[in-house]
Amino acid sequence: MSQRGPLGPLGERRVERRIERRLRLHELPLLIGLILLWMMLWREISPMSFLSGLVLAIVMTRVFYLPPVELAGRFNVWYALRYLGFFFAQLTIASFQVAWLAVKPGPPPVSSVIAVRLRTRSDFIITVTGITISLIPGSLVAEVDRFGSTLYLHVLNTPTQKQLTQMRRDVLHIERMLILAIGSRPEAEAIR
């Protein structure tokens, strides 16, 4: 006779179904995003493009399984706006700086690869921080050490230690704003 848990075989199946429903509920934003992407690719909003996108999204999420991304479940509008403001300001400034470097006479600018150790352990915040840095001209994420929470960045125009230090500060500032905007409460409390 096999040993079952305290719930018994019927109770265990109910718990398994409840867990499976929760996992499927967490996939809903991914499914919606994939459907919208499909409709944008076809440049058509119609019932047929929606249904074909839905079928494709379900097949893709079943064939190419990704582990669920754990979100903190909180959102701070003030820090989200500060993050967006900082990002757009840096995007504008860096665009002009890189454009000037492209046309400026003289030797090519000095580039560096630096490591920036982040304070977060959240895969989501590490990813968004890396994407933000890569979208700002003049910097690019070369590698991510997920377990060490470290981003390795290729940075353009860093002839002195001052520019390298400033880049590290900018990365940590972006991470801080993201933690305060969408991070977990313990992480937000730790960096305040």
pLDDT interval class at 64 (50, 70, 90): confident
Tell me the C-alpha distance between 123 and 28, whole Å: 19
Domain boundary among 63, 89, 104: 63
User: Quick one: 58 and 95 in the same domain?
Assistant: no
- Are 107 and 138 members of one domain? yes
Tally of structural domains, the chain: 2
Query: Would the pLDDT of 69 be above 70?
Result: no
Asked if residue 71 is part of any domain, the answer here is: no
Residues 156-188 have pLDDT tens digits of: 989 899 999 999 999 999 999 999 999 888 888
Both 127 and 187 in a single domain? yes
Are 115 and 184 members of one domain?
Answer: yes
The one-character DSSP state at 73 is S
Does 84 share its domain with 138?
A: yes
The answer to whether residue 78 scores a pLDDT higher than 90 is: yes
Residue with the larger pLDDT of the pair 83 and 1: 83
In a domain, 100, yes or no: yes
| 69 domain-assigned | no
- The residue type at 128: V
Confidence (pLDDT) at 15: 61
Report the share of the chain in percent with pLDDT over 70: 83
Residues 185 and 113 placed together within one structural domain of the fold: yes
Domain of residue 165: give its range. Answer: 77-191
Cβ atoms 139, 154 nearer than 8 A? yes
**Cross-strand partners of 59:** none
143: β partners: 152
20 located within any domain? yes
Give how far Cα 163 sits from Cα of 166, 169, 170, Å.
5, 10, 10
pLDDT at 48 over 70: yes
Whether residue 48 is found in the same domain as residue 112: no
Mean pLDDT for the stretch of residues 70-84: 87
User: Poorest-confidence range of 24-33, 110-119, 120-129?
Assistant: 24-33
2 within a domain of the structure (yes/no)? no
**pTM for this entry:** 0.70
Domain annotation covers residue 132 = yes
Q: Tell me what pLDDT residue 35 has.
A: 92
Coil, strand or helix: which one is 67? coil
Beta pairing partners, 154: 113, 140
41 in any annotated domain:
yes
What average pLDDT does range 127-153 have in this prediction?
94
Please report, in angstroms and rounded to a whole number, the separation of the first and last CA atoms in the chain: 56
Q: Say if residue 76 is exposed, middle or buried (CB neighbours under 10 Å; 0-12, 13-18, 19+).
A: middle
Is residue 90 predicted with pLDDT exceeding 90?
yes
**pLDDT mean across residues, the chain:** 86
If asked whether residues 59 and 81 sit together in one domain, one would say no
Give the model's pLDDT for residue 1. 46
Does residue 99 or residue 73 have the better pLDDT? 99
Are 39 and 107 members of one domain? no
